[in-house]
Structure 1
Amino acid sequence: MAKINEEIDTLALAELDAGQVFSGKASGRMVQGFEAASSFTPCLDSEYLFHESSRDVVVWFMDSSDPIYLFGPSGSGKTSLIKQLAAKLNYPVFEITGHSRLEFPEMIGHLTVEKGSMEFQYGPLALAMKYGGLFLLNEIDIIDPATAAGLNGILDGEPLCIPENSGEIIHPHPMFRFAATANSNGAADETGLYQGIVRQNLAFMDRFWLCEIGYPTPEAEIELLSRKAKNLPKNIRKKMVEYANSVRKLFMGEASGNLTDTIEVTFSTRTLIRWADLTIRFQPLARQGIQPVTYALDRALGYRASRETRTVLHELAQRIFPVESVENKS
């Protein structure tokens, strides 16, 4: 633990050109980051595609302000967006995933035995506050509202007191940032799809800057598949995105034509990438008369649905993929 603390404590701050960092073009507007990455800095994904919602988070990073709360459907890229922007700034990220029994010690830390003596081990929130970094609390709308309300002082910029560590007081580092992700906007789940989500305290939610993260545009997802699934033909990648958006419309009850029933599953960008990847991996099945696209579809999404919905998914696939061709060409 001492080595970890020493590594983070020696990180040097840096003034970076925001335009150069986020778009590759100098803008003259500066943003604070770190000179070098640490073991807590997320790896930069060269294939990651930033979409429109990223500008809100970029603005948030550029100025110390209220904590940010990103919400949106599963697999829309909330966590990856935060991490990839943090990676561009060499920001250390201290991450934890919320659950219904989450308690403060998991975030702050606890006493542990080190070389025969009791020593306090800092949790992700304490590390971010003490040394400067981003505390990322995923699935925040699943935690108990009473536990969440215990964060109110931290969200307001107040110091953290750790009674278990001889009453240590941690004043928030100037580089401390607090980000949360969730499937709901804190007012409970309206769709009934996300089990365990609870309505959060209004005073707690009032402390956040909210940012809704939707799915990327069709053009952006086509570009994403061109990076993630280069071995798929261009027309198949385009049809996959068309299919994903048709499923989303069915889920929302916005479809037209004969397929108008609402369904209980939807197509996340994460599932879309998985589908493309599995289609490539199952390509040899074509020699056995098995269609790789529909075979991979069940394993990426269909088996999560009811039998009735799976039938709808297959009917839709037959419309969009009347003749499959997944030869290894582009």
Structure 2
Amino acid sequence: MNERIKPYLLETEPYYRPAGREIELFEAAYARRMPMILKGPTGCGKTRFIEHMAWRLRKPLITVACNEDLTSSDLVGRFLLDANGTVWHDGPLTTAVRFGAICYLDEVVEARADTTVVIHPLADDRRTLPLDRRGELVRAHPDFHLVMSYNPGYQSSAKDLKVSTKQRFGALDFHYPHAEIEVEIVMRESGVDRETASRLVGIARQSRELRGRGIEEGISTRMVVHAGGLIAHGIDPHASCRIAMTRPISDDEDVLHALDGFVEAHFGP
């Protein structure tokens, strides 16, 4: 393995609790190097899943957090001045393509459409990356795999992926886990007991029923784990829920009153 990407290998196994056949299906997609989209709400485990799969497959993982300021040069690279003059520096996508890493574009719809179009030749049979400014055509390493994620229920239609992009990818749907699985995750990740984890998950599941009625997203599994971690650290449940679960998702007084009611129903007034 090239020294450039060894730092991207995960040395310890990221904990991931499967909810269905997603591990089996992703392994089959990787065997064919089928580009994949992970679709699901914020904080439901998409990033943890790809970290777990990279560890499981023993492949380096290069993650790019997409945003509206991301340019194609940020992905593929640019010429920069240093002590030796003008020198080309590969971007994270090019590094993954050259040396055979999994490249994970997190929340890809947040990037501009003219940025994500550079992935098209990588996501079909060509598996190439043109570096126009360098006059180079990079052919993907056999181990290179392209994976993207996004939340289909959050972005506006103006931010949706182009059809020409979607049709190049396979897709796996992710959802918040069933209650029993979510309780296991919270116990494992935060260190709280089963009863406390069950109460926290109950609050989160009630909040998700408010989606579209005052909040864009309910309380995620990630947020429940944070609240559990605070409780395990000695912070009382009401303060923990306020800091990690209820206040981050809304500023609306009526919504907050309803969320506080959920907390009181599970932990008492």
Give the TM-score normalised by the residue count of structure 1.
0.73
Instruction: Describe the shift of the 1:312–1:272 C-alpha distance in structure 2 as closer, same or farther (beyond 3 A).
Output: same
**In 1, distance between residues paired with 2:168 and 2:39?**
15
The one-letter code of the counterpart of 1:58 is: E
Does structure 2 conserve the Cα–Cα contact (< 8 Å) formed by 1:86 and 1:92?
A: yes
Please tell me whether the aligned partners of residues 141 and 197 of structure 1 are also in contact (alpha carbons under 8 angstroms). Answer: no
Which structure 1 residue ranges, 4+ long, deviate > 6 Å from structure 2?
none
Find out whether 1:239 has 2:199 as its counterpart: yes
- Partner residue of 2:266? 320
Give 2:3's match in structure 1, choosing from 7, 22, 37: 7
**1:227 has 2:188 as partner:** yes
In 2, Cα distance between equivalents of 1:276 and 1:309? 22
> In the alignment, is residue 161 of structure 1 matched against residue 165 of structure 2?
no
> Is residue 2:23 matched to residue 1:54?
yes
Deviation of 1:120 (Å) = 1.2
Say if 1:157 and 1:97 are closer, same or farther in 2 by CA, change over 3 A. farther
1:156–1:207: 8 Å Cα contact kept in structure 2? yes
Q: Alpha-carbon deviation of 1:197?
A: 6.6
Partner of residue 65, structure 2:
97
Q: Which residue of 2 aligns with 1:258?
A: none
Tell me the amino acid that sits aligned with residue 294 of structure 1. Answer: H
| Inter-partner Cα distance in structure 2 for 1:197 and 1:276 | 37
Structure 2: distance between partners of 1:197 and 1:296: 36
Higher relative contact order (CA 8 A, sep 6+): 2
The aligned length equals: 264
Name the CA distance, whole Å, in 1 between partners of 2:65 and 2:113. Answer: 15
| Contact residue 2 and residue 99 of structure 2 kept, 8 A | no
Amino acid at match of 1:56: L
What displacement does 1:78 show? 0.8
Asked whether the 8 Å contact 2:219–2:246 carries over to 1, the reply is no
Backbone CA RMSD of aligned residues: 2.3
Change beyond 3 A, Cα 1:162–1:149? closer
Q: Which residue of 1 aligns with 2:113?
A: 145
Amino acid at match of 1:238: S
Task: Give the superposition deviation at 1:282.
Answer: 4.2
What is residue 241 of structure 2 aligned with on the other side? 297
Question: Structure 1 residues 251 and 77, CA, compared in 2 at 3 Å: closer, same or farther?
Answer: same
Distance across 2 between alignment mates of 1:195 and 1:307: 25
Q: In the TM superposition, what is the alpha-carbon distance from 1:196 to its structure 2 partner?
A: 9.6
In structure 2, list runs of 5 or more residues that go unmatched. Answer: none
User: Higher helix proportion, which one?
Assistant: 2
Q: Establish whether residue 310 from structure 1 lines up as the match of residue 268 from structure 2.
A: no
1:280 aligns with 2:224: no
Return the alpha-carbon distance in structure 2 between the equivalents of residues 309 and 7 of structure 1. Answer: 51
Percent of aligned positions that are identical? 19
Cα separation, 1, equivalents of 2:93 and 2:147 = 11
Distance 1:87 1:69, change over 3 A: same
**Structure-2-length-normalised TM-score:** 0.88
